[in-house]
Amino acid sequence: MSTKSRSLWSDAWLRLRNNKLATASLFLVLAILFACFVLRWFLPHDPNIGNLNDKYLAPNGTHWLGTDQLGRDLLTRMLDGGQISLMVAIIATTLTVAMGVIYGSVAGYVGGKVQNVMMRLVDGLLALPFLVIVILMREMIASQLEIVSEFLVDTWGWKSDLVQRFSNIIPLICAIAAFGWLSMGRIVCSQAANLAQMEYVEAARSLGLGYWKILFRHIVPNLLGTVIIYATLTIPSFILYEATLSFIGMGIEPPNSSWGMLIKDGANLIETQPSLLIFPALLFSLTLFGFNFLGDGLRDALDPKTAKD
Amino acid sequence: MLKAILSRIGQTTLVVFLLVSVCFFIVHALPGNPFTEERATSDVIIERMEASYGLDKPKIVQYGIYWKRMILDGDMGQSFNFKGIPVKTILLQSFPVSFQLGIVAMIFGCGIGMPLGVIAALYKNKWPDYLSMVIAMAGICLPSFVVGPLLQLWVAKPIPFLNIAGWMMPQDVLLPALTLGFGVAAYIARLMRGGMLEVLSQDYIRTARAKGVSTLNILLKHALRPAITPTVTYLGPAFAAVMTGSFVIETIFQIPGMGQHFIDAVLAKDIYLILGLVFFYGVLMGLANLAVDLLLLLINPRLRS
Amino acid sequence: MVICAVLASGSAETMAEKAANEGILLLGNGNEPKALDPHLVSGVIESNLLRALFEGLCIEHPSDDSASLPGAAQSWSANENFTEWTFNLQPTGKWSDGKPVTAHDFVFAYERMLHPDFPSGYSDMLYFIKNAEEFNKGQVTDFSQVGVKAIDDYTLLISLKAPTPFLPSLTKHFTWLPVPSHKVLEYGEMTEPYTAWTHEGNLVSNGGFQLKKWRQNHFIEVERNPHYWDRAAVSLNGIRYFPVKNANTETRMFLNGQLHATYTIPPDFIPTALKKYGEQIMQETYIGTRFVRANAQREFTSNPLIRQALSLCIDRQSIIDNILQGGQKVAGSVTPPFGSYQPKNMTAFDPAKAKLLLAQAGYGEDAKLPELELLTTDSDTNRRTAEAMQGLWREHLGLRVRIVQREWKSYLKMRSELDFDLMDGAWIGDYLDPTSFLDLWKGGNGNNNTGWSDAGYEAILAEAELIEDPATRYAKLLEAEAYVMEQIPAIPVYHYNTNYFLSPTVKNWHPLLLNTHPYKFVELQK
């Protein structure tokens, strides 16, 4: 088993490297991650402090992309916001994939009544109002988070700005993941149900393979294609969830920025200061393109069928 | 078949009942009081307001009363935020608007998304593929609060018969529906492409190709049906979601649809309105999923067993 | 698309032009009203609608803030010390269903508003009336002891608890409007709230207009009231109110010819708009103040020196110029200056002095300052102002302030529970008198929200209440003003200004301090 899986992954890696677009995307994504999480700390400006009289400066030597409504450096805020947005999206997507695949594949493979009950449950949960969950999560988790962050600051001497920044995205991640896995579960389930009818699964079953072995050896790997495509779609949509919450004033805590927040603020300035929309939207789109083509590449690389070519 | 449908309807009813019940108790946990205003209201007054809506009774009694009224009189209670307006009136006024908008948006979504996805799959890794996917990605990357204003400024402003916003003339549906449909199209294109690629790599398609069957023929006769499965699965919930409107699009285009209520009711802790909306959405979602499953049966006869 | 093109090609005129020809005013009104029952609402949005539908004893003058014109009352007179007022109603005053408007309708309205069983949140606006507060609080159970009497069908006698020379201007407020007793009682008992009497098709009103259509989140249309006593004076055929929540959309609609006037203008658009559409932009003084309330119940902010230090670090002019951009005025006092009431500017931007005060309060250079929480709502402009102040306090005092942005109901809950160190909030004057602002800081005022109270301050206000001469009274109130600014439980940031678009086709619409334009006099140029 172990040798087999290793060759699957190294094969996939080889195929991925042969795909120029995917490789380029991989580098793009890595570059953006590097910029947000490393380079950002070498920029001279504080993302949250600006001089009001320097608002709306055009790009120049000191402020490479200009300044925002409060005279803060736009580039620093974009990279800083990238940390938040990417963390929200990536962590929530990981949770979503884990929950969605497990739940969905079990439901789809077992089928029958169990599938029915499990899917009806998903239907029900999907109809809960998202905003209620967000507000409740914030209410429930916020006080606990405060205790934890105080502990981190007081006992371990962590920087309070930093702790606060990251602690206030946790309710958001929980709320988004609590919703995100539902659609993932549905899609995985219908795919798994399809696969369960396939000849090779029947064959495996007639060979006497166990329930779980069939599930994890034959069903789940064949779901990867769908899951990866869907996951690359959820990353942008989760960044957008956060943005939409910003639109109704429920996003992350100011003065922190996020891509959603920057784009939303920029959208209000379309007529007057378009650059405040264009730069963040550009970085956001580039990231999504990167994730998307990387996802496509991964899917092709992992798909056992294209392997035959 | 009929039995299956009936049992499915039964299940949906049960799900909706549970959903509303769960909601009933969690919306009470929302912070704040529905009757507080900018200007301070004394506790006595708030108690009076609560009493006039029956909120002074124990939760479980309120819950019983809610279902009793709902089942016996078809009464969903009154809104707290829009004082004295029955929830049913609000739903009946806003749903037709969202419905019209949703239908047009779905037409835009499928009309743009499906061809894009098919073209992308047929020309995999060639420029039509990239172009379609760039368009699709734009639909995903650009949030509706960017697309909406752009359409207002670039399309509505120069064209005299299009309004910036509002719901007064038949053509007012076009721009918001396009904004709403754009995001849907992006998903459909991606899912369609994925499904199509999956099918095109199947042995029977390869065989057909080897036999020299034309691409169009393969597409229409063999590929489209199975390839559409993931898209159809997505369409169910998407349809229910689109039909119930979008807060962002409705506020940007000033449309009296349901989407605004989903947000405003929660922010105002308008309990009966939230419950009414959840009930409505649950029913719609159940119906949409039922329709999807029936559609899947039609498309993929193997599932019938 | 083709059909639309054909449909539209016939008319090149904009919606606003078409409506102007029909005599219908198109207004942006910010949001959907919570109700149309004058006894159940408290907001500006609702008051804009009620002003068209109902008419109080007196009504606004189209251009003079201090004048009160005859409304439902033809004439009025007061005794020597302004405690007994007699209003003679219009003999031809009628509800929109043709029934006469009588003094009994007013008595009914005030009884309903004040009734202890009726959940009206704004009943304290009637506390000027003798025994009104006592009746509202259940201490007096017989309404005949309250100072409102119908002498006959057309004569109303109002007795007040204290001299109130400005009563006529109070009666313009929507809390003093009459309601049609016959209609209210048709749909429920007097004290039953939330009945259907205000719904489309049921609502009967006595103003220049009557309700025609009410579409949730869509529009509300009012049309001429055929029974209005002064119908000849009404120029408009109707008004259509659009609840446009998104200010950017509203501005775009106006510029595209879909509205005659907007509710607001997004701050970032104002400078550009002033250059491009200068003559269509109204920038008017509005009697309201934005504050940062400090929680006097918390140790750090309970010290007036610290509150002064916080105030001295706010660069008000810069916030106005760079964020609000609508010509707001630096707030140097709690009450905005108006008419003959002109308080001095008692604030300044002086970070050096702020540091000094902080040191005096025991927080020298090396002292560890606590981290404060600034509570604010989910609006963009408030968020930005909060961010700016956060930066200023950090820069000048080294004070860390965390912005806690909450959705409306959570915000109100935290506000009333004093669950904050600092809180961003505002107050809009209900009527043109300094007490509308100064009373806020009394200990028992429900809108105080600072946890601050001071016997010395309340003593000055109590003294002022007994003074009959307006000028001496103002002088006394200025004393109170200085007192509260010294203690500064709430730090005034700026005095409001309304900014909105107004089409040049709208005539006889003038700046008013309370922004209450009487639609009766508004005209549309065809």
pLDDT tens profile B85-102: 999 999 999 999 999 999
C244 lies within 8 A of chain B by CB = yes
Residues from chain C contacting residue A268 (CB–CB below 8 Å): 248, 266, 268, 380
ω into A255 cis (within 30 of 0)? yes
Per-residue confidence band for A126, with pLDDT thresholds at 50, 70 and 90: confident
Percent of chain B with pLDDT over 90: 41
Residue-wise pLDDT tens digits, A72-121: 999 999 999 999 999 999 999 999 999 999 999 889 888 888 888 888 88
ipTM for the predicted complex comes to 0.90
Please name the member of B41, B82, B164 whose beta carbon is closest to the beta carbon of C249: B164
Residue-wise pLDDT tens digits, A269-305: 988 899 999 999 999 989 988 888 888 788 777 765 5
Q: Which one is predicted more confidently, C327 or A187?
A: C327
Residues from chain C contacting residue A139 (CB–CB below 8 Å): 410
Res C345: pLDDT: 94
Res C8: pLDDT: 47
User: Under an 8 A CB cutoff, do A254 and C402 touch?
Assistant: no
Angle at C333 between CA C331 and CA C338, to 5 degrees: 85
A183 CB-near residues (< 8 Å, 6+ apart): A100, A126, B234, B237
Q: Please report which helix (H) or strand (E) contains residue C9, including its range.
A: helix C2-9
Q: Quick check: helix, strand or coil at residue C293?
A: strand
Does a structural domain hold residue A1? no
Residue B267 clears pLDDT 60, i.e. is over it: yes
Q: Which residues of chain C are modeled with pLDDT < 50?
A: 1-10
Residue A42 clears pLDDT 60, i.e. is over it: yes
C residues 192-211 closer than 8 Å to B (CB): 192-196, 198-199
Q: Please report which helix (H) or strand (E) contains residue C334, including its range.
A: none
Per-residue confidence band for B4, with pLDDT thresholds at 50, 70 and 90: confident
Contact C373, C402 (CB under 8 A): yes
Locate C369 and state its tokens.
Answer: 């300052």
E-strand ranges in C174-299 read 209-215, 219-224, 238-242, 281-294
Residue A166 clears pLDDT 70, i.e. is over it: yes
Residue B12 clears pLDDT 90, i.e. is over it: no
pTM, rounded to two decimals: 0.90
Total beta-carbon pairs less than 8 A apart between chain A and chain B = 145
- 3-state percent breakdown (helix, strand, coil) of chain A, nearest 5: 80, 0, 20
Locate C168 and state its tokens.
Answer: 């006529």
Res C1: pLDDT: 39
Choose, out of C202, C217, C377, the residue to mutate when testing the contact with B (most B CBs < 10 Å): C217
Q: Which one is predicted more confidently, C41 or A224?
A: C41
Total beta-carbon pairs less than 8 A apart between chain A and chain C = 71
B107 lies within 8 A of chain A by CB = no
Per-residue confidence band for B53, with pLDDT thresholds at 50, 70 and 90: confident
Locate B18 and state its tokens.
Answer: 């549970």
Locate C86 and state its tokens.
Answer: 């007699």
Res C3: pLDDT: 44
Q: Quick check: helix, strand or coil at residue A222?
A: helix
Q: How high is the mean pLDDT of chain B?
A: 88
Strand partners, C158: C85, C148
CA–CA gap between residue C259 and residue C264 (Å, rounded): 12
Per-residue confidence band for B44, with pLDDT thresholds at 50, 70 and 90: confident
CATH class of C15-240+502-524: alpha beta
Strand partners, A73: A67
Res A308: pLDDT: 36
Contact B277, B290 (CB under 8 A): no
Res A236: pLDDT: 79
List chains touching A (3+ CB pairs under 8 A).
B, C
Of B114-118, B139-143, C68-72, C497-501, give the lowest mean pLDDT range: B139-143
Q: Please report which helix (H) or strand (E) contains residue C40, including its range.
A: none
The CA-to-CA distance between both ends of chain C, in Å, stands at 31
Res A7: pLDDT: 63
The residue ranges of every structural domain in chain C are: 15-240+502-524, 288-498
CA–CA gap between residue B94 and residue C166 (Å, rounded): 44
Res C424: pLDDT: 94
Residue-wise pLDDT tens digits, B203-230: 888 888 788 888 778 777 778 888 888 8
Q: Which residue in chain A has the smallest CA separation from C388?
A: A70
Angle at C242 between CA C240 and CA C246, to 5 degrees: 160
Total beta-carbon pairs less than 8 A apart between chain B and chain C = 151
CATH of B97-271, one of 2.40.320.10, 1.10.3720.10, 1.10.540.10, 3.40.50.300: 1.10.3720.10
Contact B116, B283 (CB under 8 A): no
C318 lies within 8 A of chain A by CB = yes
Q: Quick check: helix, strand or coil at residue B34?
A: coil
CA–CA gap between residue B23 and residue B281 (Å, rounded): 12
Strand partners, C160: C129
**What is each CA distance from B16 to A127, B13, B287, C140, in whole angstroms?**
9, 5, 11, 50
Does a structural domain hold residue A25? yes
Choose, out of A45, A46, A49, A150, the residue to mutate when testing the contact with C (most C CBs < 10 Å): A49
**Quick count: other Cβ atoms within 10 Å of Cβ B212?**
7
The C-alpha torsion from B177 through B183 and B185 to B188, rounded to 10°, is -140
Residues from chain C contacting residue A253 (CB–CB below 8 Å): 402-405
Residues from chain A contacting residue B248 (CB–CB below 8 Å): 244, 247
Does a structural domain hold residue A67? no
Res B302: pLDDT: 65
Please name the member of A53, A255, A271 whose beta carbon is closest to the beta carbon of C387: A255
List chains touching C (3+ CB pairs under 8 A).
A, B
CATH of residue A139: 1.10.3720.10
Q: Which of A179, A123, A117 is nearest to B285 (CA)?
A: A123
Res C513: pLDDT: 86
Give the DSSP letter of residue C338: B
Residue type, B249: I
Res A2: pLDDT: 43
Domain that holds residue A110: 20-37+73-303
Q: How high is the mean pLDDT of chain A?
A: 84
User: Under an 8 A CB cutoff, do B30 and A132 touch?
Assistant: yes
**Mean pLDDT throughout B284-302?**
81
Name the CATH architecture for the domain at C288-498: Roll (3.10)
The residue ranges of every structural domain in chain B are: 97-271
Res B303: pLDDT: 60
Q: How many domains does chain A have?
A: 1
B residues 65-104 closer than 8 Å to C (CB): 78, 81-85, 89-90, 93-94, 97
B residues 47-86 closer than 8 Å to A (CB): none
CA–CA gap between residue C39 and residue C141 (Å, rounded): 20
Q: Quick check: helix, strand or coil at residue C37?
A: coil
User: Under an 8 A CB cutoff, do C409 and B251 touch?
Assistant: no
